[in-house]
Amino acid sequence: MIIGIVLSIIAGSLVGLQNIFNSKVNEHTGSWTTTTIVLGMGFLASFTIGFIAEGKQLFSLENMQVWYWFSGLIGVGVVTCVTKGVRLLGPTYAISIVLISQLAFALLLDSMGWMGLEKVPFTSKQLVGVLILAGGVFLFKFGGNGAFIFAKKRTEQSE
């Protein structure tokens, strides 16, 4: 479990870093050029490392559902939408929305058992967790100094 947590933290850090890089590339090129560069370099890197690590097993694709092949197309949508979102909203706000959307959609897929996932019972705690995250993003974006002043006054009163 610890390894899964560490890998998830690393993945989140890398996604945040990648989105900053993508945004900077997008400042000098268009969204489609950025997407092509990002996914093209990703293909070359994963192909090379995969071939070194797995050899010919890299090409062993039997028993794979046809619809799994569409993952690459979904990746095009991810890179394009996130790059534009970061450009329009800024990295922190855009990525916060992406994470909430990702969590909400994962909750939906898990609770419905779609896409071959094991069905996990939906609980109100899960919904409350997503709503709290969404509320946090709302406060982050629209709370302004008012939220900070309110928190500061509460801290001063408790001292």
Q: Residues 20-30: pLDDT tens digits? A: 899 889 889 98
Best CA proximity match to 122, nearest among 130, 131, 111, 112: 111
Integer Cα distance of 22 and 84 in angstroms: 10
Predicted pLDDT at 159: 54
The amino acid sitting at 157 is Q
**CA distance to 66, 99, 118, per residue, from 106 (Å):** 21, 10, 12
Residues 6+ apart with CB under 8 A from 84: 26, 31
For residue 23, report the phi and psi dihedrals to the nearest 5 degrees.
Answer: -65, -40
Computed on alpha carbons and rounded to an integer, the radius of gyration of the chain in Å comes to: 20
Per residue in 102-144, pLDDT tens?
Answer: 989 989 999 998 888 889 898 999 999 889 988 988 888 787 6
CA dist 17 and 24 (Å) reads 11
* C-alpha to C-alpha distance for 126 and 112, rounded to whole angstroms: 14
**pTM (predicted TM-score):** 0.73
- CA distance between the termini of the chain: 39
pLDDT at 147: 47
Which residue type does 114 have? W
